[in-house]
C-alpha cells in the first residue's frame, strides 16, 4: 500500500512539473528582476583619452579668423581643446559663421562634442548682428514670463548658428551705482529680483537647447575696479556675502543652473586670492551652495590676474582651486602654454588623474543632459 501511494505521488508530481513547463513564461516582479550593468559611456570615453586630450579638453579658447584654416587644423591635431568662445572678430556673414561653427564642431570627437560659447547677454553685451535682446535692467521691467520667452528667443538665435553655450544670465546684484562694469547688465539692486529674472532667463535658454552660465560668482556688483584691467577687491566677510551677493547664485543653484562662471575679484574677508584662484571661494560654491555642475573661469588673460600673477601661477592655481573649464580668449601662445603647464603639473604629481576625470565627467554629464 505504501509503495502504491509513493508511485501515485510521483506520477502527480511529474504531471505538475509537465504542466508548469507548458505555461507561458511569467515575468518576475520588477524588484526581483536581475538588471545587467550597462557600460558607463562617459567612463569609457575618458579611459580612451590621452593625457593631452584630457587637459586640452578642459580649456576653452578664442580664435582669430572666420574659417577653419590649416593652422587651426594643425593646432587642434596637437591641442584638442574642449571648446571655443566666439567674438565679433569671428563674424562676417551669417552663412559664413554657420559654416565656421560647423567646421569647428567637426574637429572634435562625436562622443565629446565641442562647446561653442558666446557672450550674448542682451543690451550692450551682444556678439551677433541682427535681432538684439533687451539688457537685463530692461528685462526686469517686464514680467518673468516675458523674460523666459526672451531666453527662448536667445536660444533659437544661438542654436540656428550652432552655438550651444551662452555666458548669461548675469547674477550680479547692482549695488553700487558707481559700478561701470555691471550697470544695466544686472537685473537690479534687489537680490530676490535678480534671482527671479535670472532664473526665468536661464530656464528659457535651457528650454531651447542652450546651456546657460550664471556669472560672475560671487558677485561683481559692489566693486568699482574693472577686472579686465586691475584686480577688484570686495570689502565683505563671509556673513555679508551670504546675506546679499550670494543670494542669486544660491537660488540659481537650487533651480538647477548647469554652469557658473567665476569672477577675478578678491573677497578680502575670506581670502587674499581672486575667487578664480581661491580654493576657499570655490569650496563655498561647491560645499555651502551645493553646486554640482560645471565651474568655468572668466577669461584668464584679464589684467586682474595677469598684472598680479605669473601665467604658470594663474593656470595651476586656478585648476587646483577647483575650476573645471579654463577660458583663454585671445593669445595662441598662452593657450598652448596652459596645456603644457598642466601636463607638467600632472607629471609632478600636483594634479591627479582623478582630478582631471572629475572635471571631464561634470562637463560630459552636462553635455548628455543638454545637447
CB 193 within 8 A of CB 187: yes
Tell the burial category of 119 from Cβ atoms under 10 Å away from its Cβ (0-12, 13-18, 19+). Answer: middle
Residue 20: predicted pLDDT: 43
CB 329 within 8 A of CB 301: yes
Residue 29: predicted pLDDT: 52
Residue 27: predicted pLDDT: 53
Residue 264: predicted pLDDT: 97
Residue 4: predicted pLDDT: 45
Query: Which candidate, 214, 154, 144, places its Cα nearest to that of 185?
Result: 214
Spot the catalytic one: 228, 272, 283, 353: 228
CB 198 within 8 A of CB 170: yes
Helix 332-347, helix 70-78: angle, nearest 10: 10
Residue 176: predicted pLDDT: 79
Per-residue CA distances from 20 to 15, 17, 33, 76, 101 (Å): 9, 5, 20, 64, 63
Residue 39: predicted pLDDT: 58
Residue 222: predicted pLDDT: 78
- Residue 211 parent element (H or E): strand 211-217
Spot the catalytic one: 172, 220, 264, 298: 298
Per-residue CA distances from 251 to 190, 194, 336, 357 (Å): 13, 10, 36, 28
Residue 263: predicted pLDDT: 97
First to last CA, the chain: 77
Give residue for cell 521691467.
141
Domains and CATH numbers, the chain: 53-370 (3.20.20.300)
Q: Report the predicted TM-score, pTM, of the whole model to 2 decimal places.
A: 0.89
Written in H, E and C, the secondary structure of 250-315 is: HHHHHCCCCEEEECCCEECCCCCCCHHHCHHHHHHHHHHCCCCCEEEECCCCCHHHHCCCCHHHHH
Active site residue 330: no
Q: Within the chain, which residues score under 50 in pLDDT? A: 1-26, 28, 30-38
Cα–Cα distance measured from residue 46 to residue 355, given in angstroms and rounded to the nearest whole number: 12
Cα–Cα distance measured from residue 357 to residue 346, given in angstroms and rounded to the nearest whole number: 13
Residue 341: predicted pLDDT: 98
Per-residue CA distances from 256 to 127, 165, 201, 212 (Å): 26, 15, 13, 10
Residue 193: predicted pLDDT: 98
How many helices (H) and strands (E) would you count in the chain? 15, 10
Residue 25: predicted pLDDT: 45
Active site residue 271: no
Give residue for cell 565641442.
114
Residue 2: predicted pLDDT: 44
Question: Residue 116: phi, psi to the nearest 5?
Answer: -105, 105
Tell the burial category of 5 from Cβ atoms under 10 Å away from its Cβ (0-12, 13-18, 19+). Answer: exposed
Residue 226: predicted pLDDT: 74
Amino acid at each position: 500500500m505504501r509503495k502504491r501511494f509513493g508511485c501515485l505521488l510521483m506520477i502527480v508530481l511529474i504531471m505538475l512539473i509537465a504542466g508548469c513547463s507548458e505555461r507561458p513564461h511569467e515575468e518576475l516582479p520588477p524588484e526581483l528582476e536581475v538588471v545587467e550593468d550597462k557600460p558607463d559611456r562617459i567612463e569609457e570615453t575618458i579611459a580612451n583619452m590621452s593625457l593631452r586630450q584630457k587637459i586640452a579638453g578642459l580649456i576653452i579658447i578664442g580664435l582669430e579668423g572666420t574659417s577653419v584654416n590649416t593652422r587651426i587644423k594643425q593646432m587642434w591635431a596637437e591641442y584638442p581643446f574642449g571648446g571655443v568662445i566666439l567674438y565679433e572678430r569671428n563674424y562676417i556673414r551669417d552663412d559664413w559663421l554657420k559654416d565656421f561653427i560647423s567646421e569647428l564642431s567637426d574637429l572634435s570627437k562625436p562622443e565629446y562634442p565641442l562647446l561653442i560659447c558666446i557672450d550674448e547677454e542682451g543690451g550692450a553685451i551682444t556678439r551677433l548682428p541682427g535681432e538684439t535682446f533687451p539688457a537685463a535692467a530692461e528685462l526686469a521691467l517686464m514680467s518673468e514670463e516675458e523674460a523666459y520667452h526672451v531666453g527662448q528667443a536667445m536660444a533659437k538665435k544661438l542654436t540656428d548658428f550652432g552655438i550651444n553655450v551662452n555666458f548669461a544670465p548675469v547674477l550680479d546684484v547692482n549695488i553700487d551705482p558707481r559700478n561701470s562694469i555691471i550697470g544695466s547688465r544686472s537685473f537690479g539692486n534687489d537680490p530676490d529680483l535678480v534671482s527671479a529674472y535670472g532664473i526665468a532667463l536661464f530656464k528659457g535658454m535651457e528650454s531651447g537647447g542652450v546651456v546657460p552660465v550664471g556669472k560672475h560668482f560671487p558677485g561683481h556688483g559692489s566693486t568699482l575696479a574693472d577686472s579686465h584691467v586691475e584686480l577688484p577687491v570686495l570689502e565683505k566677510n563671509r556673513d555679508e556675502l551670504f546675506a546679499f551677493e550670494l543670494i542669486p547664485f544660491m537660488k540659481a543653484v537650487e533651480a538647477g543652473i548647469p554652469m557658473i562662471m567665476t569672477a577675478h575679484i578678491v573677497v578680502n574677508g575670506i581670502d587674499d586670492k581672486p575667487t578664480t584662484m581661491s580654493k576657499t571661494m570655490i569650496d563655498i560654491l561647491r560645499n555651502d551652495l551645493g553646486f554640482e555642475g560645471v565651474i568655468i573661469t572668466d577669461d584668464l588673460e584679464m589684467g586682474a590676474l595677469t598684472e598680479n600673477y605669473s601665467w604658470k601661477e594663474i593656470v595651476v592655481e586656478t585648476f587646483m582651486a577647483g575650476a573645471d573649464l579654463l577660458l583663454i580668449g585671445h593669445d595662441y601662445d598662452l593657450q598652448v602654454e596652459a596645456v603644457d603647464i598642466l601636463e607638467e603639473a600632472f607629471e609632478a604629481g600636483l594634479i591627479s588623474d582623478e582630478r582631471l576625470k572629475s572635471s571631464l565627467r561634470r562637463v560630459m554629464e552636462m553635455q548628455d543632459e543638454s545637447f
